[in-house]
Structure 1
Amino acid sequence: MGVGRKVIKLIDYKREDILSRNKENRKWMISIFYPSQGKQEDERNSYLDLFSPKEEEAFKIFKDMGAEEIKNLKSFYTNDASISYDAKNLPVIIYSPGMGVDRDLYLYNISKLVSEGFFVVTVGATYETLFTVFPNGNVIYQSEAVQTIGSNDFASLKELMKSRMEDISFLLDTLSSWNETDHFLNGKLDMNRVGVIGHSLGGATIYELAKRDNRVKAGVILDGSLHLISHDTPVNTPFLSIRQQHATLSEMLQIWSNEVAEAYSKGQQLLYDSLSGYKLFIKVNNSDHMSFSDVPLIFKEKNEEMINAVHHTVNKIMIEFFKEFLIDKKAAFSQWIERNTNGSDFYVIDSEGKYVS
């Protein structure tokens, strides 16, 4: 089984984009990753194909940022591949990226999830992402308004989250319709088994979404922006929070301002208290904030072997989590954690980010 990818533009004609100068309707890109008929080993394509039909422009942008090696990076997926004959009634995972990060720069995780039998739909954030390529070749760059948002501008960041939540709710409505009528997706999706994954700002987004949308059945927060979430409503949805190595207040003070670190630490505690269903907080060794994406591989920021080890750990934890809470393999994740926790790769932590012995 291989990995296929389709890109689609969505437009919500009932909403105006808060970041557009032209007061246009909200529009954004999604990518649908799915099991394909090919073999994964036959699908080793250029990473830059993610930005078709503007591969050259994308390469120039990355090159100017010091990531020229992206031209040599390969990934396992094929655009518009034929869908697998066995892809029927599969669980769906919605992916919300970090602020400024392209929706598909998580291929290490996406391709693994698809190979395990999930549909994965990544959700772009036009005007917020560094640049967004549309199917007609139009490129929309990050807005000046977003570029000036500071890390302590909580109000503006929450506005971005609100738009993202509305995007995902619209997407879920659309997927339900496509599952009934679309020639490609008809009967392929099980919309009663929807999981969500969010990184950074996307992590805060999916948590807030779960409070408002009962279609979300399980969620994984990848080093989420916990200082931005509210705690007005208990959340019974199963959640897994995966943190970088700076997880305690004292550790966060080493990399962030006092204001952000203290708000984050408080948010982490309140998140723990607000989750009334299954919850687990995990710290992955040798990881930082961007380790949960492909960014370190693109920019060669760290030892590749170390990054691959982090990615392997995240993949394994996440797949076991979704097996229990989306595929209904009773106690699969809990038992796996008991066998594997507190090793060299990850630790279970408490609400303060401290190791649980």
Structure 2
Amino acid sequence: MLRQLLILGFVLIFCSIVRAEGRNEQSILPKPGGPFAIGTMKVFVTDSSRMETFITKKKFREIYIKIWYPAHVEGQSEYEGLLSDYPDEVVVDIFKAVGLDKELVGKIKESTTNSVTGPVVPVNGQKFPVVLFNPGFYFGMADFYTGIAESLASNGFIVCSVNHPYEQPYVEQSDKGVLMKKKKAQLAYLQLVLVEKFRKFELDTDEQIEDATRIYLKKLKRFDRVLRRWTTDNIAFIDYLYYVCNNDSVGGVFAVMDIDRIGVMGQSLGGAVAGQLCIDDSKRIRAGINLDGFQFGDIIDRPVELPFMLMESEHYELWRIGNEMVFRNSGPDFHSFTAKRAKHFLYSDAVSLKFLEEEDLKNMIGDVNADEINATVNEYIRAFFSKYLKGVNEPLIDNNIDNDEYRHIKLR
């Protein structure tokens, strides 16, 4: 039975489009490599089957979606500011935890993106696959993954970032933005610390690794609840897309969405959501990518049968070992990608913060060549979704590679 979904409103930021060769030379973000210019828009969807549980006021759960899409642009163009939709104090507070001060955050917000603002229209004459993106927990801000979204949009994908109110630093709503419920979010990390501090895991045999992984999944109940809530947010949005895109009067970006070709990806806990969606909504999802997240959820007992890629850093060995166990029985198109010497924030726009001190940047993304590994990551993401959503032959994704910078293995 379909959910009753109400759209509270949507704001179109139809940008005046730049021609493909007119990329933004002033942005700190990498230039997108595809042939399309990029527009953005915002959508606010209310799931009237669920009440918001984070506040006492009776209110249906509202989901904010930011969309990057291939756009048609002529004439002069203005570019969106990087993180411009986020209040300064929110950005400063969240980045303080990873070592960035007010001055450095100011430099981030001085930059523009490669996405255009103003009235722009989507490219007509063809339909594009849709990729849902879920930002990370606690630190996750939709616009701090702009480089990944722009890379895909420029290559002919429509990227929809699904944001989760009260569990990410700041999430827009149709009336006003809402801040994260920090104390509740921190309780999830407290569970993580307690499990790892007071539980010594023996990891010498497959049986011990499986036992440790199952204990991990069982004890971290707060992360599991977040995973279930976010997965339901995504399913509600997919329901909404099926309703809107199958309407005879559909127009704008929705008219060029191919909802028969939906992929999903996310970073950190958002990556775990991508994995869970591939088993919970396997009829409508075609492929998924987990960007450096421990795979909470049911996959350890309900293997992913869809094409899936686990992209990891080397920052957390316990997650890597656990993920090997979780994904051990995955289907015939399972890919493993590891960025060597990398850290967790490699899979975000942190990779573009070249103005940081060398050691500060290493603390975020690892001891890597930022430009080279970022280009490699984006190329693998593009190739994966091109193969499994567009049916394009992609030798890159079919070949195993193990060099000094990264390792890609198609396991099955």
What TM-score range do you get, normalising by the shorter chain? 0.7 to 0.9
Instruction: Show CA shifts across 1:183-208 (max 9, x none).
Output: 32343111111111111111111111
Change (3 A) 1:123 1:28: same
Task: Pick from 300, 312, 327 the counterpart of residue 375 of structure 2.
Answer: 312
1:130 is matched with 169
1:163 is matched with 229
Change (3 A) 1:327 1:25: same
User: Could you tell me whether the CA contact under 8 Å between 1:123 and 1:168 is conserved in 2?
Assistant: yes
Tell me, yes or no, if structure 1 residue 91 matches structure 2 residue 91. no
In 2, Cα distance between equivalents of 1:62 and 1:267: 28
In 1, Cα distance between equivalents of 2:230 and 2:95: 29
Task: Pick from 340, 348, 352 the counterpart of residue 293 of structure 1.
Answer: 348
1:17 is matched with 52
Q: Where does 1:257-268 land on structure 2 (aligned, <5 Å)?
A: 261=318, 264-268=319-323
1:257 is matched with none
**Residue 62 of structure 1, CA deviation:** 6.1
* Larger CA deviation: 55-64 vs 224-233: 55-64
Q: Where does 1:137-286 land on structure 2 (aligned, <5 Å)?
A: 137-150=176-189, 151=192, 152=195, 154-181=220-247, 182-213=250-281, 214-226=283-295, 228-246=297-315, 252=317, 261=318, 264-286=319-341
In 2, Cα distance between equivalents of 1:62 and 1:270: 32
User: Could you tell me whether the CA contact under 8 Å between 2:401 and 2:409 is conserved in 1?
Assistant: no
2:159 is matched with 120
Tell me, yes or no, if structure 1 residue 71 matches structure 2 residue 126. no
Partner SS, residue 302 of structure 1: helix
1:325 is matched with 388
* Larger CA deviation: 154-163 vs 10-19: 10-19
Instruction: Show CA shifts across 1:68-94 (max 9, x none).
Output: 322222211124642233363210000
TM-score, with length taken from structure 2: 0.72
* Larger CA deviation: 301-310 vs 222-231: 301-310
In 2, Cα distance between equivalents of 1:210 and 1:103: 21
Determine what percentage of the aligned residue pairs are the same residue: 21
Q: Where does 1:1-80 land on structure 2 (aligned, <5 Å)?
A: 1-38=36-73, 42-51=77-86, 55-56=87-88, 58=90, 61=93, 66=101, 67-79=105-117
In 1, Cα distance between equivalents of 2:44 and 2:117: 15
In 2, Cα distance between equivalents of 1:115 and 1:41: 18
Change (3 A) 1:312 1:111: same
Change (3 A) 1:80 1:209: farther
In 1, Cα distance between equivalents of 2:48 and 2:176: 21
In 1, Cα distance between equivalents of 2:135 and 2:177: 21
What letter is aligned with 1:104?
A: D
User: Could you tell me whether the CA contact under 8 Å between 1:59 and 1:70 is conserved in 2?
Assistant: no
Larger radius of gyration between Structure 1 and Structure 2: 2
User: Could you tell me whether the CA contact under 8 Å between 1:3 and 1:40 is conserved in 2?
Assistant: no
What letter is aligned with 1:234?
A: P
Partner SS, residue 156 of structure 1: helix
Change (3 A) 1:235 1:63: closer
**Residue 113 of structure 1, CA deviation:** 0.2
In 2, Cα distance between equivalents of 1:117 and 1:215: 20
**Residue 56 of structure 1, CA deviation:** 4.9
Change (3 A) 1:272 1:230: closer
Unaligned runs of 5+ in 2: 1-35, 196-218
Tell me, yes or no, if structure 1 residue 302 matches structure 2 residue 368. no
Unaligned runs of 5+ in 1: 253-260, 352-357
In 2, Cα distance between equivalents of 1:278 and 1:81: 40
1:82 is matched with 120
Change (3 A) 1:74 1:23: same
User: Could you tell me whether the CA contact under 8 Å between 2:122 and 2:252 is conserved in 1?
Assistant: no
Instruction: Show CA shifts across 1:95-153 (max 9, x none).
Output: 01111211231111100100000000001010000122335443333342113322356
In 2, Cα distance between equivalents of 1:80 and 1:211: 39
What letter is aligned with 2:328?
A: D
User: Could you tell me whether the CA contact under 8 Å between 1:221 and 1:240 is conserved in 2?
Assistant: yes
**Residue 242 of structure 1, CA deviation:** 0.7
Aligned-residue CA RMSD in angstroms?
2.8
What letter is aligned with 1:204?
A: A
User: Could you tell me whether the CA contact under 8 Å between 2:294 and 2:320 is conserved in 1?
Assistant: no
User: Could you tell me whether the CA contact under 8 Å between 1:243 and 1:283 is conserved in 2?
Assistant: yes
TM-score, with length taken from structure 1: 0.83
Change (3 A) 1:338 1:322: closer
1:255 is matched with none
User: Could you tell me whether the CA contact under 8 Å between 2:289 and 2:311 is conserved in 1?
Assistant: yes
What letter is aligned with 1:302?
A: L
